[in-house]
Structure 1
Amino acid sequence: MIELKSAEEIRRMAVTGQFVGELLGELSGVAAVGVNLMDLEHLARRRIKERGAESCYWDYAPSFGRGPFRNVLCLSVNDAVLHGLPHDYVLQDGDLLSIDMAVGVDGWVADSAVSVIVGTPDPADLKLIEATEVALEAAIAASQAGGRLGDVSNAIGEVARSYGYGVNGEFGGHGIGRTMHESPHVSNDGRAGRGMRLEPGLTIAIEPWFCRSTDKIMYDRDGWTIRSADGSRTAHSEHTVAITDSGPQVLTRRPAQVAGSAADTTENPAAAS
């Protein structure tokens, strides 16, 4: 069942979205050479607790995965693209890091993701991140009341192909609101003019993700972390969006959009935060 939200309910989701955007912006700035992934995880835990929010990831136990998820972030490095488990890994120069998070505040949820390069950027990685961001903006622009869900999916697929990337259809975006995953599924490829009609009050998480040289994926032994099947680099971008009569409303914008490269430093600000 799809629940359309009122203007007041979208406003309350936007409060959550602002927190998510601010925290993702902070985490992206902290991610640097010499920072351990667990420092990012623990920083996020502190910020969520300080806000009185609740992580949607903690104890999440879908049909995939191995046991309940016991972290508040998905941290995916290099060839990992989705559901990366935070673990004892120190970020290296040139790493491509995707940070994904979803939280609830006062019963309303927002979900967002960003990919950044730590230290020295590889132009091919910058292109890959750019493709996900351009695809996300194209999909947001296509999220118009009276349009079709296929318009959103098609926008993502067309951008992927224009950059020379394939699209994997196993994981995509989703409805969101009172819980992290609601109907409908938002595929990362589709046919324009097809699918359900987009009505005001629909809230969706749009999340294009691409692998550099394959559209196939594989799972780590942890049952969670999803990687490109050929070991190529990956990137992931996501926003929570509300369909309104006046156009799409992005609920998870960050205070300053990430430029694609995190600061190169050996200092560990997360540990001291």
Structure 2
Amino acid sequence: ARLAAACDRAAAVVSSIRAALARAQGKVHALEDERNALLRANALTANDVDVMIRLRQGQDEVAGLAAIPDYGEALLVPTRIVESENVGTRRAGRRVARRLERVREARKDLRYRQWMREYAEGRMQDREEWMRDVSLLRVTKELQQFVGGADLAQKQKELTVKTEAQGRYLKTAHRRVMGKQQRAQKRLERTVQSRREENERLLKQVTELEQSVAVRAGIVEARERGAGGGVGPTARADKRMGTLVARSRLVSTAKAQADELDALRAQLAKLRRRTFPMFVAGQT
């Protein structure tokens, strides 16, 4: 039973670890999908981005020779137009800068999520190793084999057969003990019954003796009255004393038998409480 309970606890721990691993793998897959989406967006942004070049003020952008001898085709542009164009250029530059800032933040978040995934995988592996170490330290050889995936069907079958045999032995022993207790109870009941019958017989004898004593006392008194007082008071006192002594002896014998009967009844009640406690409790 303890082995089965330990197996159940180990199986529950393994199932909880597997459930946690499944949840972690689901989170990892979700993070991978999000990472792939961010990579695609990043690639699209990297291939279609406006590049800003920082130029010095007044720099000549006209392609040509190293030295331009002729400025005949040059055009004078008002500064107001140049400034208005610069405003639009700065606005576009700020938009591009914000876009690049978002790309940088996305890459930072992607690196953070990747680090969190690796950290979660490391924690999960550490937890699995820790649980395996704890299980190997605290369980028996059979439970180690169960955790390792060994087939314990034959051992479970042998354990079941052994448990059934033990149960049959316990039933036989219980029946044997119950038989002994019942035989002892029957012997005590017979003893109590015989003592009760003996007490009744003694009580009958006491009653008969009392009646006989009373009859004889009446006869003696009648004879004394008929004889004119031939028997003296001393003889009558002696006879009365003898009668009282005999009566007291009979009463003492009856009391001793009654006390012995009460002791046997108490012993029988104790044996019944020991043998059938629920039955005695229901009667009380």
- Give the TM-score normalised by structure 1: 0.19
Bigger fraction of residues in helix: 2
Bigger fraction of residues in strand: 1
Larger Rg: 2
- Give the TM-score normalised by structure 2: 0.18
